[in-house]
Structure 1
């Protein structure tokens, strides 16, 4: 399964105040908060972790459709210097890759590391939603993941 998320850093800076009281405790584990507090660029780390969590949520929905969202239960276990991550949600382990640019952060997560080799970026809006309301590509009917925030939109899938 695949999940993705994008964060428009310009919009996030304008519209979100992650430093407000209680925000970090609602969304991030103590390990993740430590990553934030020790980061050279704390804003970037907050939105990278958020992007990872959103991506995992989307991938998890594909496997075990569940309408609840529980960011604190999505645990980033490890992030390396290449922004590759290992994430756990309940009994599932996901692998993530994050791209950071001056204007955006993008994350893709998969269940198996080898799945990264099959990912394709789509330039189409030809999709429909399945019976659970999850997006699938119009012609192939294969699952896709769609993310948009501010000026950025990205659609990915396995083809």
Structure 2
């Protein structure tokens, strides 16, 4: 299973006051709070942990076919990129750029394909272009649908595929990841 999340760092800075009283306690476990408050760059660690939680949430929801319900404190992030939820452990990779932070979460080491876009009008179209190239099929045969829990699925020639895909956007950035 796979999930992803992107944070536009400028939008996060303008719209979210993570230093507001009670914010960290509401979102982060006590161990995460300790990591953040002792960090040389606490704001970046806040968004890294947030991005890790969101990416793992998507992977975990898909894996167990869960109804949408995010409880950030049920996810325990570590500085080495592992996230614990229930009896599961997810690996995360976070790419930090000057303007955004992008995390991919997964439970296995299967190959995946991912791409980040800035100011893209239609992330789904961009994802379809890449998927049709990777699978050697025509773009008109590919469509995305959401299942009953809001998890995106890939359909090719009107048949649902087992190919997991996760799509994210925030501010001026969009990204997708798929196990192709």
**TM-score by shorter chain over 0.5:** yes
User: Unaligned 5+ residue runs, structure 2?
Assistant: 116-125, 129-142
Whole-angstrom distance in 2 between the partners of 1:138 and 1:124:
13
Corresponding residue of 1:136:
153
- Deviation per residue, 1:87-129 (Å, 9 max, x gap): 11001110111011110010001012x12xx111253254222
1:96 corresponds to which of 92, 99, 113: 92
Corresponding residue of 2:42:
42
Q: Tell me how far 1:148 sits from its aligned partner.
A: 0.3
Whole-angstrom distance in 2 between the partners of 1:68 and 1:129:
16
Q: Tell me how far 1:143 sits from its aligned partner.
A: 2.0
Whole-angstrom distance in 1 between the partners of 2:127 and 2:95:
21
Corresponding residue of 1:24:
24
1:119 corresponds to which of 109, 112, 118: 112
Whole-angstrom distance in 2 between the partners of 1:132 and 1:34:
34
Q: Secondary structure at the match of 1:60?
A: helix
Q: Tell me how far 1:66 sits from its aligned partner.
A: 2.9
Instruction: Give the structure-1-normalised TM-score.
Output: 0.89
Preserved CA contact (<8 Å) 2:167 2:176: yes
Q: Secondary structure at the match of 1:79?
A: coil
Q: Number of residue pairs matched?
A: 151
Q: Tell me how far 1:67 sits from its aligned partner.
A: 2.4
- Deviation per residue, 1:59-81 (Å, 9 max, x gap): 011012132211101001x323x
Whole-angstrom distance in 2 between the partners of 1:121 and 1:138:
18
Corresponding residue of 1:70:
71
| Bigger mean CA deviation after superposition, 23-32 or 133-142 | 133-142
**Bigger Rg over Cα:** 2
Q: CA RMSD in A?
A: 1.5
| Bigger mean CA deviation after superposition, 45-54 or 138-147 | 138-147
Whole-angstrom distance in 1 between the partners of 2:148 and 2:16:
33
Q: Secondary structure at the match of 1:124?
A: helix
Whole-angstrom distance in 2 between the partners of 1:15 and 1:124:
28
